[in-house]
Structure 1
Amino acid sequence: MRLEAWGVALLLTVVCGALVAPQALRAQAFGRVEETKSNVAYFYHARPGEATVQLSVWGTVPRPGVYEVPDTTDLDKLLTMAGGAPMEARVEDRKAPTITVRVYRPGTDGRNQIFESELDRMLRGSPSYPSLQDNDIVVVETVRPKQPFGWRDVLSVLSTLGTLTLLGLRIFTRV
């Protein structure tokens, strides 16, 4: 008798779950998350009911993707949410790369660049940031300086020449 009661309870749970699950899933949708149908990372950083803007962060940030943030968010806060400066900028034993931040905004004739600054100038507070708007694209570009020809490069060239010399000796000499 007890086994039948458990079976009936289990059957009711499964049937009720199947009927309630689609409504529960629809109730969880919020913001514009449901509009994003790709494998791009989507980050939502706003309180419920807060006015937001949706923008893209591209380039050499640790967490590129689509960000939905409060419409009062500054560019530096957005870059912090995206993981900050690339790891190459944090290395101090060699010359630091040049990191440039650009903001593009949709216009009548395509996307227009509305802001450009090197990260160093932004950290010093030199440029004033534009207010972020819906569909802006923030691009972070890292340009590494050309490294001088060092001992590792010399060692690589010498080892390649040595390998080619030994290969030539084996091919052209019959012992």
Structure 2
Amino acid sequence: MIASSFPGHAAWVLGAVLLGLVGAALPVQAQKFGRIEETNTNTAYFYYAQPGEATVQIYVWGAANAGIYEIPDSTSMARLLTMTGGIARGEREEDQKRARITVRHYRPEESRQEPLLEARAQEILRGDVEAPRLREDDIVVVETVQPDQFTWRDALSIVTTGASLVLLGLRIFRFSD
């Protein structure tokens, strides 16, 4: 009764079943996302571009979230540093000096030894240093050096070592008498 009231219904059902059978026979592929399918590594891969936007792959090493970053080709060094989280590692905690964050930008095709840029991260973020435009396969090394601090524990260690040496000296002189 239902089939007679809807004459095209049977054809539609038959078409859906056939499409399902044909679709089931086709191999399933994941959506291609950036150039990640070319990357055979266990390194972190970060993709920060809009679909269809021209991108470059940059290698970030060091104190930041190291990995391969696929970013728009117009991305500035300051923006890349912000994406990697390398700047946050230099924040001060209570009673600590600010860490010194150095950024080195290498372009392997031009020079493997000398960086194109070597500057403090703060200088780059303030715009005091003109960073070269990022290109495909550039390497950015973010190095954080935490300055040594003299704390009360260091002072206590020096005082106890000095006291131990004085007591040792008194004992030696006492035994020699």
Give the alignment's TM-score, normalised by structure 1: 0.69
Aligned match of 1:43: 46
Counterpart residue identity of residue 95, structure 1: K
**Alpha-carbon shift at residue 18 of structure 1 (Å):** 6.0
Deviations 1:107-157 (A, max 9, x none): 255354101111222232210111000000111101111222x33245568
Distance 1:83 1:105, change over 3 A: same
Residue 122 of structure 2: aligned partner:
120
1:31 aligned residue (6, 31, 34) = 34
The one-letter code of the counterpart of 1:42 is: Y
- Residue 93 of structure 1 deviates from its aligned partner by 2.4
Kindly indicate whether the alpha-carbon contact (under 8 Å) linking 1:106 and 1:112 is maintained by their aligned counterparts in 2: no
Q: Pairwise CA RMSD of aligned residues?
A: 2.8
CA contact (8 A) 1:75 1:132 kept: yes
| Equivalent residue, structure 2, for 1:171 | none
**1:44·1:69 contact (CA, 8 Å) conserved in 2?**
yes
Q: Is the 8 A contact 2:86 2:142 kept in 1?
A: no
The structure 1 segments of at least 4 consecutive aligned residues displaced by more than 4 Å after TM superposition are: 15-18, 154-158
State the partner residue of 2:25: 19
CA distance in 1, matches of 2:122, 2:111: 31
**2:89/2:144 contact within 8 Å kept:** no
> Does the C-alpha gap of structure 1 residues 23 and 134 become closer, same or farther in structure 2, counting only changes over 3 Å?
same
Q: 1:129 to 1:51 in 2, by over 3 A?
A: same
> Could you tell me how far 1:24 is from its partner in structure 2?
2.6
Name the SS for the 2:135 alignment partner.
coil
- What are the superposed Cα offsets for residues 85-116 of structure 1, whole Å, 9 maximum, x if unpaired? 14343325221121101100012553541011
Corresponding position of 1:58: 61
The number of aligned residues is 142
Higher gyration radius (CA):
2
Task: Give the TM-score of the pair, scaled to structure 2.
Answer: 0.68
Percent sequence identity is 50
* AA aligned opposite 2:153: R
